[in-house]
Structure 1
Amino acid sequence: MKKIIITIASTLLLCSCAQAQGSWWLFPGKKDKKENVQATQKESESLKTTVIEEARDSISTDADEQWLDGRSDDVKVALVLPFNAVQKPSSNYLEMYSGALLALRDLGNRGINIKLHVFDSSSEEYALNKDTLNSMDLVIGPVDYNGLSEVTSILGRTRMVISPLEPKAASLLDTNDNIIQSPVGWARQVDVMVEWLEQETSLGDQVIVIRDASLKGAGEQSSYLMDKLSAAGVLFRTVNSIKDIQNIKHTHYRVLIASDDDSFITKEVKEIGIAASIHNNITLYSTSRFRNCVGPDVFDLYTANTRMAATYYVDYDSEAVKRFILEYRSIFQSEPGSFAFQGYDIMKYYLSAYSSLGRRWFTKLPTFPGKGLQSDFIFSTKNGDGRENTAVRKVVYSPDLSISLR
């Protein structure tokens, strides 16, 4: 029988009050919703059952079959997240945990038996145990640089730890053989952005780099971009602001911003959006940092016809995403956010790789690309000895307020 075995380590998460609190930390959502859910339970029971059954039946097997080869050996996994379960639980990490649970269910339905051990790294009782960690086949987390460094120092060379959220942890690959870097760092995003610029630049186009000359703005990322453009042989001219361009009709301007100052980026994105809406001949190239800088006001990204090299992007038109959202709502009584998608993608991809690739699976990741709901997985021996994810999604913001993937 296909099944999934989930063992929650009581040492850390199941505190003395967990019995009373379990219903809400296992299924994240506001506690005051509980009474409403119970009141409508009889009315919605039949509908929810039908929805869940239909969603499960509609799960596409194509993507799963490319990840799994039918092996059914038990896999022991440690999930280390800062739940803060004893005090005020973190909604983000409970959401990530919930997404991971859905991945485990789907993997179980495909024939993988999994024992999950969950650790709250924010608990006062949290302490690393060498024997416990080395009994795991896979460790996902912690989420911070120092925590990851500590875990890698006590794990054996054949036990791998997955860095699930911290881009800066990529530097640990240079000194540790037992870490896999899942989130894609800013340098790789810049690489993809410049390659994209080269592919789209035509004869007669002008490449403009808006360069921040301030001490705060002239940092590591700005310097890397300038070096990358020069190394690629891209012809460009620098200005202090988009306002410095004397816009010429029938000339297309391809614009980049070289700055490490978020406020400068925000200001220039707005100015570029205004100029693009007037002249309709500007394309902005960016990384996912720009999305964080502008916050909820993304209108200027649309008007600037932005090309964004992004680590994460959820395509809500995707059938797989629609199914996931439907199931998440039905089971957890809340809307999935980016942490839920991340938990699902990471748990599913790496356990699939472990199951499919066999011994020393982590050396074979370059042969095992994966497409997730929010992020993708592509490994190359040229990056981090094959242990650094290089997959970047190309997102296009169009003036008609649509978003598409390239």
Structure 2
Amino acid sequence: MTSVRNRQQQLSGNRKHILFLLVLFLAACSPKTRPTTNLPSGSGQEKKENKQTEVVKEKKAEKPEMVVSLLLPFELDVINYRIAKKQDLSKAELAIDFYQGYKMALDSIAKTYGGKFKFQVYDSKDNITSLSNLANKAGIKNSDLIVGPVFPNGIKTFSEYSKSMQKLMVSPLAATSADSFNNPYLISINNSIEQHVTKAVDFIKSNLKPKKIVLIRSGQEGEYKYAVPFKKEVSELSKLIPLSEIGIKAVGYENVFKSLTPTGLNVIVLPSTDRNFLLSITKELSKLTANFQIAVIGHPEWEKLTFLDGHIMQNINAYITSSSKIDYKSSAVDHFVKSYRAKFQLEPGEFAFKGFDIGFFFGGLMAEKGKDYGDFLTKEVYKGLHNNIHLVRDLKFGYSNKELLVLKYQDFQLKRVY
């Protein structure tokens, strides 16, 4: 990958305009209280209503208004939208995209299924003090669902309020394991690294069925977050399938072949995301395919790495687990993209897709089940544009999404295979 020096890019005119409108929107976002009108006893209006009681009872009960609150890091108090540069706005752009996708979902449900929503949007400012202040707002306390905050520190802070209020809250983007927050009302949509490991081991066992598993470490500190749970998960398999673990600094790239079996499939597990290590080890493994059967299981973050060579990844039969995959050839995705462009004059980013899927999953349940929607969270399986959602519940740590994909480097792209 070639790096070039760029001048700082300013935010596009359309997105600047949206950010400016959001300043006005959020300023006017505090919930309004409707006045209560008391009719005097015996009034003509009261008699008229009494006469219509039977008619009203025969009518289908009107759907309740569901209150949804978004807590997103717009950070409008620190951004000057007139002169803001792109790097200043990464969190704000995330918030804008997610908000627009979520709103499109609720608008679609309201139009198609007759759902009634009160949609409240708050600037979390990615700030603990701000979140504490928001938790005391009547609009938050009256919410049927709270979506956000999006970052781990904010989730940890707001989880305490969620528990005390007994309010369901959604962690829409963080991949942090739910046991870090100890909140039975937390709904985690993004998969944790432990879930990725479980999916990878299941795929190895059910599909690859190797003769041997070899875990190769680079020495990168972060790889242990994957390597440790992998060794724990695969321990039962190792009774039937030998597992070797080697450190590349001790062994050297040229001696990797000594850990492979010449008969049957070798599954190589690479928990690292280090550029130099991956370029070297994948090149070496590609050479070894001439004499050994090889398949590689990589870290989920590989999906974002642009330096990996497509030819080599295909040659070594590389796989990764992933929380999501957008099929731009599907009619549903095509319709969403066109609708998003028409509404906002922008291309939908990853977080717009995420916002739509999360909004449609919860909004659909709310429209159908009303105030009891929480009783059906684990019974609904949602196949989305970006995310699939199938929740499982832990009484101590809340809900987690068990939907995960296995992708393979094939035809110079990542394709779903499991």
Query: What is the TM-score with the length of structure 1 in the denominator?
Result: 0.73
Offset at residue 178 of structure 1 (A)? 2.0
2:18 alignment counterpart: 24
Alignment check: 8 A CA contact 1:71 1:356 kept:
no
Match of 1:343 among 355, 372, 376: 355
Q: Structure 1 residues 215, 85: CA separation in 2 closer, same or farther (over 3 Å shift)?
A: closer
2:45 alignment counterpart: none
* 2:204 pairs with 1:193: no
Alignment check: 8 A CA contact 2:71 2:121 kept:
yes
Identity of aligned residues (%): 19
Alignment check: 8 A CA contact 1:379 1:386 kept:
no
2:235 alignment counterpart: 230
1:134 alignment counterpart: 141
Residues 201-280 of structure 1 aligned to structure 2 (within 5 Å): 201-202=208-209, 205-212=211-218, 214=219, 216=221, 219-233=224-238, 234-241=241-248, 243=254, 244-245=256-257, 251-259=264-272, 262-263=274-275, 266-267=278-279, 270-271=282-283, 274-275=286-287
Larger Rg: 2
Read off the aligned partner of 2:169 and give its amino acid letter. Answer: V
What secondary structure, in the 3-state scheme, does the structure 1 residue paired with 2:358 have?
A: helix
1:161 alignment counterpart: 169
Read off the aligned partner of 1:117 and give its amino acid letter. Answer: Q
Q: Deviations over 1:129-184 (max 9, x none)?
A: 4232111111101112232233232245542111111122612553x222111111
Between 1:363-372 and 1:184-193, the stretch displaced more is 363-372
Alignment check: 8 A CA contact 2:382 2:390 kept:
yes
2:296 alignment counterpart: 284
Match of 2:70 among 79, 100, 111: 79
Following the alignment from structure 1 to structure 2, what is the Cα–Cα distance between the partners of residues 320 and 269?
39
Between 1:329-338 and 1:270-279, the stretch displaced more is 270-279
Alignment check: 8 A CA contact 2:101 2:355 kept:
yes
What secondary structure, in the 3-state scheme, does the structure 2 residue paired with 1:403 have?
A: strand
Q: Deviations over 1:302-343 (max 9, x none)?
A: 343222211122122222112111212222222212111111
Q: Gaps spanning 5+ residues in structure 1: where?
A: 1-19, 29-69
Offset at residue 286 of structure 1 (A)? 2.6
Read off the aligned partner of 1:368 and give its amino acid letter. Answer: E
Between 1:185-194 and 1:308-317, the stretch displaced more is 308-317
Alignment check: 8 A CA contact 2:126 2:154 kept:
no
Following the alignment from structure 2 to structure 1, what is the Cα–Cα distance between the partners of residues 115 and 368?
10
2:364 alignment counterpart: 352
2:94 alignment counterpart: 92
Following the alignment from structure 2 to structure 1, what is the Cα–Cα distance between the partners of residues 280 and 396?
34
Following the alignment from structure 2 to structure 1, what is the Cα–Cα distance between the partners of residues 284 and 390?
33
Alignment check: 8 A CA contact 1:71 1:112 kept:
no
Alignment check: 8 A CA contact 1:208 1:256 kept:
yes
Match of 1:326 among 304, 314, 338: 338
Read off the aligned partner of 2:212 and give its amino acid letter. Answer: Q
Q: Gaps spanning 5+ residues in structure 2: where?
A: 1-13, 23-60
How big is the alpha-carbon RMSD for the aligned residues of Structure 1 and Structure 2? 3.3
Alignment check: 8 A CA contact 2:69 2:119 kept:
yes
Following the alignment from structure 1 to structure 2, what is the Cα–Cα distance between the partners of residues 157 and 355?
23
1:105 alignment counterpart: 107
Q: Structure 1 residues 113, 215: CA separation in 2 closer, same or farther (over 3 Å shift)?
A: closer
Alignment check: 8 A CA contact 1:145 1:169 kept:
no
Query: What is the TM-score with the length of structure 2 in the denominator?
Result: 0.71
Following the alignment from structure 2 to structure 1, what is the Cα–Cα distance between the partners of residues 199 and 395?
14
Q: Deviations over 1:374-396 (max 9, x none)?
A: 11111224686661111112222
2:34 alignment counterpart: none
Alignment check: 8 A CA contact 1:173 1:384 kept:
no
Following the alignment from structure 2 to structure 1, what is the Cα–Cα distance between the partners of residues 212 and 399?
37
Match of 1:117 among 115, 120, 128: 120
Match of 1:295 among 303, 306, 330: 306
Offset at residue 349 of structure 1 (A)? 0.9
Following the alignment from structure 1 to structure 2, what is the Cα–Cα distance between the partners of residues 229 and 107?
43
Q: Structure 1 residues 148, 201: CA separation in 2 closer, same or farther (over 3 Å shift)?
A: closer
